[in-house]
Amino acid sequence: MTRTNPLTCSTALSRAASVPIVLALILVSSLSWASAIEPYDFANDVEEARFQALSKELRCTVCQNQSLADSDAPLAQDLRRELYEMIRAGRADMEIRQFMVDRYGEFVLYRPPIASHTLLLWAGPFIMLVIGIGIGLFTIKRRRQAL
């Protein structure tokens, strides 16, 4: 059995075997150790930054609470490869997001789009805030009247 189960969820952290290595990694760079990313060569810093940003905002469907950047699952590796190739091919961020949504659904987006079916999600906190302020004002007014 030479293959790892593609559905295995492990983080870069759990893979790192020994404590000294982990500590050394923390010292060297607090950024690179957070992601299980293969060394990809980019043409420029912009491409690399886009790769980093997109792999952080796309969810790994295998390890559902990890982003593509965090996950060490083989499927996440495949998707990072796909992401890398699309960036190198000059595809726009929107196109890449759409590519993932077409295959895995909107669930892969950590930042859901603003649309009619997500309106409550986006507006919800503000609606609650308005209700809260309303109740607050109402209570204050009534207490003032009671005095």
Partner 1 sequence: MIRMLVPLGIFLALVIMLVAGLDTAEERKLVASPLIDKPVPEFTLPGLFDSNAERSSSDFLGQPWILNVWGSWCWACRVEHPFVERLGREAGIPLVGFNWKDERTDALEWLDRYGDAWTAHVVDFEGRSAIDLGVYGAPETFLIDHRGIIRHKHIGPIDQTVFDDLMRRIMALRSETEAS
**Which parts of this chain interact with partner 1 (CB under 8 A)?**
1-7, 61-62, 64, 74-75, 78-79, 82, 101-107
Estimate the crossing angle of helix 93-104 against helix 74-88, to 10 degrees: 150
Closest by CA to 77, choosing from 30, 22, 2, 10, is 10
Nearer to partner 1, 33 or 104 (CB): 104
Amino acid sitting at position 17: A
37 Cβ contact list (under 8 Å, min separation 6) = 55, 69, 80
Is 5 or 32 the residue whose CB approaches partner 1 more closely?
5
Q: Which is nearer to partner 1, 46 or 138 (CB)?
A: 138
Whole-angstrom CA distances from 82 to 49, 93, 101, 114, 125 are 16, 13, 14, 26, 35
Beta bridge partners, 71, equal 11
Closer residue to partner 1, CB minimum distance, 26 or 105: 105
Question: Cβ of residue 31: shortest distance to partner 1, in angstroms?
Answer: 27
CB 90 → partner 1: shortest distance, Å? Answer: 19
**Nearest approach, Cβ of residue 69 and partner 1 (Å):** 17
Please state the closest distance from residue 137 (CB atom) to partner 1, in A: 19
